[in-house]
Amino acid sequence: MYRPTSPAQHSQFLHYVSAVVAAEDNAERPTHSNTQEDCDAFYDDALRLLNCFYPERTVTTTSRDPHFITPGIKAKLRRENRLRRAGRFE
């Protein structure tokens, strides 16, 4: 599992977060009775945003792959190979 990132995803995320922060400045924030509930709420919100804007992708790595091949590198190599076969890689 890995999370691919792109400038477009960053832009969408920052646009959404800036709109949410502006809306929350005008609204009253709910307070919880203890710090643990506040941390749990923050973690849930952060994980929801992460999964929404940067979804996980699955790439299978095997024992035959070199030790330095991570899921992210393998996905990039697959994309490069696909583009080369289509004649769109320079």
- Domain match, 50 and 79 both: no
**Domain encompassing residue 90:** 63-90
- Domain match, 12 and 51 both: yes
pLDDT digits (tens, 9 = 90+) for 43-86: 998 999 999 999 999 888 889 999 999 998 999 999 999 999 99
- Domain match, 10 and 41 both: yes
- What is the per-residue pLDDT for 22? 67
- Domain match, 31 and 72 both: no
SS3 letters across 22-87? HHHHHCCCCCCCCHHHHHHHHHHHHHHHHHHHCCCECCCCCCCCCCCCCHHHHHHHHHHHHHHHCC
- Domain match, 75 and 47 both: no
Q: What is the pTM of this model?
A: 0.64
Looking at the structure of the chain, the number of domains it has is 2
